[in-house]
Homo-oligomer: A and B are copies of this chain.
């Protein structure tokens, strides 16, 4: 198994957490999202993943894209230390929390979108930063509410163990901090993020622990 990754990509980071959590042996291929005008747009990478996005997972000569699809695949093929509960409704609640990040926050704030705001739409740095913080607040406020409803308020977003919701939370909180977002309104998310950071699998997946870290 080989993961195409960029140390700072939130979506690649999610998959790194799951691989580490489940102890799945794998290699890593760095794809630099800024160098050479974005290596994810290179002809060679587009042959790997026509979407031109990281992560991508290669196994047996075949390639899989989309972090959430990869996470579900790892969960189905490596059920040890499950990241989803057993009950269908509870599984769905966890997925809904993960997707509240993966569909409704992250896609609006990733590199290609910020570049489009700056380039074609001619927005200055202040407007881009206001945009970023707006979607963080729109997304994290209801997630804080769901975490209070479903989690233990301290260690996990949902129930009493690590789930896909936690896997999606950590990279999003890191990026919110990087862009100077105020996290004071989300004490539960901050507490859970802090606890998760103490777990070895989460520590191993952090950007600064990657081979391509800068």
Q: Which residues of A contact B (CB under 8 A)?
A: 50-53, 59, 62, 64-66, 68-70, 72-73, 76-77, 88-89, 91-93, 95-96, 99-100, 102-104, 106-108, 112-113, 116-117, 120-121, 123, 127, 130-131, 134, 138, 141-142, 145-146
Contacts and interface: CB of A to CB of B under 8 A. Distances in A.
B104 A92 contact: no
Q: How many copies does the complex hold?
A: 2
B72 A95 contact: yes
Given A64-B89, A99-B68, A52 B142 contact: yes
Secondary structure call for the A interface:
helix
A159 to B, nearest CB: 15
A99 B146 CA distance: 23
Contact of A121 (B53, B91, B123): B123
Nearest to A75: B88
A175 to B, nearest CB: 16
28 contacts: A50-B141, A50-B142, A50-B145, A51-B100, A59-B89, A64-B89, A64-B93, A65-B96, A66-B99, A66-B100, A68-B68, A68-B103, A69-B93, A69-B95, A69-B96, A70-B92, A72-B92, A73-B89, A76-B88, A76-B91, A76-B92, A102-B103, A103-B106, A107-B107, A108-B113, A120-B130, A120-B131, A120-B134
Contacts of A142: 50-52
Contacts of A69: 92-93, 95-96, 99
Contacts of A66: 95-96, 99-100, 103
